[in-house]
A = this chain, B = another copy of it.
Amino acid sequence: MPIPETLAHPARNEIELAAVLHALSDPVRLLMVRGLAGALEGRSCGSFDVPVTKSTCTHHFKVLREAGVIRQRQEGTKRVNTLRDDDLEDRFPGLLATILQAAEHQPLVSEPA
Q: Which A residues form the contact surface with B (CB < 8 A)? A: 16-19, 21-22, 24-27, 30, 91-95, 98-99, 101-103, 106, 108
Contact = CB atoms under 8 A, between A and B. Distances in A.
Give the number of copies in the complex: 2
A22 B108 CA distance: 14
Question: Which of A16, A27, A99 lies at the interface centre, i.e. has the most chain B CB atoms within 10 A of its CB?
Answer: A99
21 contacts: A16-B106, A17-B99, A17-B102, A17-B103, A17-B108, A18-B27, A18-B30, A18-B106, A19-B25, A21-B22, A21-B25, A22-B22, A22-B25, A25-B25, A91-B102, A92-B98, A94-B98, A94-B101, A95-B98, A95-B99, A95-B102
Contacts of A25: 18-19, 21-22, 25
